[in-house]
Amino acid sequence: MPLSAPPSSYTAAVERHLTGAGIAKSSARIYRISLTTWGWMLTGEPAPTGHARRGRPSGGEAPPDSSVATIDDPALPEVLAELAVARQADEMDADNVNRELSIARKAIGWWQRQGWIEGDPTIGIERRPAPPDRTKALAENQITSLWHLDVGLRGKTQWKVLDESAARADEVLCLNVEDLYPQDKRGRITAKGGATEWIHWQSGTAQLLPRLIARRTRGPLFLTGHKAPAGTPTLDVCPETGRARLSYRRAEELFEGNTRLLADPLAPPEDIDEDLDGWTLHRLRHSALTHDAEDGTSAPMLLARSRHASVRSVERYARPGVDAVARHVAGRDPTASRRR
């Protein structure tokens, strides 16, 4: 028997899942965009791409209205598999494919537990093997080069917090001014899964934060440069300036755009356009934890700093980065030894 009355539409079912399953606020928009995309494919139509997929504040162009019960259509798994494979081949890498499939299956499982549906139409879709990327950790000189970029105070402060705290970007972007404890160089964040935890930073962040806050006492820490549009949730609007909270998507776009020349150092500056990729914000977290491991940080401390639940989760950071390998090779160079 259903635990509650089934929602009137698939879109309503998505919203019930986001609130009822305890999806963190920092992740809700990504989940909504992904589930809206699946909503198009559940109706047998290709999903929009680009701005149409993610441009609306609510998470992309809405799919045709349909009932959540259509998920139990026995013909749907085959149709969905064909659409998903075609879309993945056109535009998505393995990590994105697997993340979106995981989001869909999490929602479907929650709807099944409510008694609204019985089947899983994604059953014919397999996770895509993702070859490991051994270059996620940025070299120390690459991190240093960030601080020489001609960017504003907001961007430099945000990147410095991420570098020094090893926090996730969405956690940092959800910080409010009242969550900061400057005298202790720490901040209170809502972590992945909804837990309330601490992040810690160093002197670089401590020097920048007072300038960024500029006497504000409450509201989002990182703001856009313009007034919040009508309909923006109150929690995402600064009550003192009226400006909106900086979104993850916009923060990622700015970081990626500013780091294209650093990521492609041999490319002529006039060729730096949208055809070249910059770095992702997540690489700052990965780099900080990798450099910690290289410096001999213990596994318990890495667990506490990364806020992962198991030692297996921090094994990825135990692989020495490019700087550590370069120092090792240079130290065994026979020519250099003879010079010494």
pLDDT (tens digit per residue) in 72-103: 888 888 877 877 766 665 556 677 778 888 88
Between 300 and 178, residue with greater pLDDT: 178
Nearest CA to 277 out of 309, 298, 311, 253 is that of: 253
Helices within 259-314 (DSSP H only) = 260-263, 282-294, 299-306, 311-314
The verdict on residue 129 lying in a domain is no
Between 79 and 1, residue with greater pLDDT: 79
Contact by Cβ (8 Å): 247, 173? yes
The verdict on residue 156 lying in a domain is yes
* Residue 154 shares a structural domain with residue 265: yes
pTM of this structure: 0.64
* Residue 105 shares a structural domain with residue 254: no
Between 141-155, 239-253, 298-312, the lowest mean confidence (pLDDT) is in 298-312
Residue 246 CA to residue 249 CA, distance in Å, equals: 9
DSSP 8-state class, residue 138: P
Measured CA to CA in angstroms, residue 280 lies from 42, 60, 147, 170, 288 at distances of: 31, 22, 16, 12, 14
Work out the average pLDDT over 115-136. 76
Between 59-73, 180-194, 280-294, the lowest mean confidence (pLDDT) is in 59-73
Measured CA to CA in angstroms, residue 179 lies from 138, 171, 200 at distances of: 29, 12, 12
E strand map for 149-267:
180-181, 186-190, 196-200, 223-227, 243-245
DSSP 8-state class, residue 184: G
The verdict on residue 89 lying in a domain is yes
The verdict on residue 259 lying in a domain is yes
Q: How confident is the model at residue 134 (pLDDT cuts 50, 70, 90)?
A: low
pLDDT of residue 88: 60
302-322 pLDDT, tens digit each? 888 988 878 777 777 777 777
Measured CA to CA in angstroms, residue 265 lies from 159, 221, 276 at distances of: 20, 32, 11
Residue 170 CA to residue 250 CA, distance in Å, equals: 11
Q: How confident is the model at residue 137 (pLDDT cuts 50, 70, 90)?
A: confident
The verdict on residue 127 lying in a domain is no
pLDDT of residue 132: 57
Look up the CATH number of the domain holding residue 314.
1.10.443.10
Edge-first strand listing for the sheet containing 196-200? 180-181, 186-190, 196-200
pLDDT of residue 57: 45
* Residue 18 shares a structural domain with residue 70: yes
Residue 3 has pLDDT above 70, yes or no: no
The long-range contacts involving 107-115, CB below 8 angstroms and separated by at least 24 positions, are 107/13, 107/14, 107/17, 107/21, 107/31, 107/35, 108/71, 110/17, 110/20, 110/21, 111/13, 111/17, 111/68, 111/71, 113/3, 114/2, 114/3, 114/4, 114/6, 114/16, 114/20, 115/1, 115/2, 115/3
The verdict on residue 133 lying in a domain is no
* Residue 54 shares a structural domain with residue 175: no
Residue 100 CA to residue 38 CA, distance in Å, equals: 9
Between 172 and 337, residue with greater pLDDT: 172
* CA 174 to chain centroid: 12
| Domain of 164, in residue numbers | 140-327
The verdict on residue 122 lying in a domain is no
* Residue 262 shares a structural domain with residue 302: yes
* Residue 25 shares a structural domain with residue 73: yes
Between 42 and 279, residue with greater pLDDT: 279
* Residue 85 shares a structural domain with residue 168: no
Contact by Cβ (8 Å): 176, 220? yes
Residue 114 CA to residue 276 CA, distance in Å, equals: 45
Only one residue has tokens 């950071």, namely 317
* Residue 166 shares a structural domain with residue 244: yes
* Residue 103 shares a structural domain with residue 170: no
Residue 209 has pLDDT above 90, yes or no: yes
* Residue 39 shares a structural domain with residue 104: yes
* Residue 163 shares a structural domain with residue 57: no
Of 114, 131, 148, which one is at a domain's C-terminal end?
A: 114
* Residue 226 shares a structural domain with residue 290: yes
Residue 154 CA to residue 20 CA, distance in Å, equals: 34
The verdict on residue 216 lying in a domain is yes
Contact by Cβ (8 Å): 217, 240? yes
Domains in the chain: how many in total? 2
327's tokens: 């120092």
DSSP 8-state class, residue 243: E
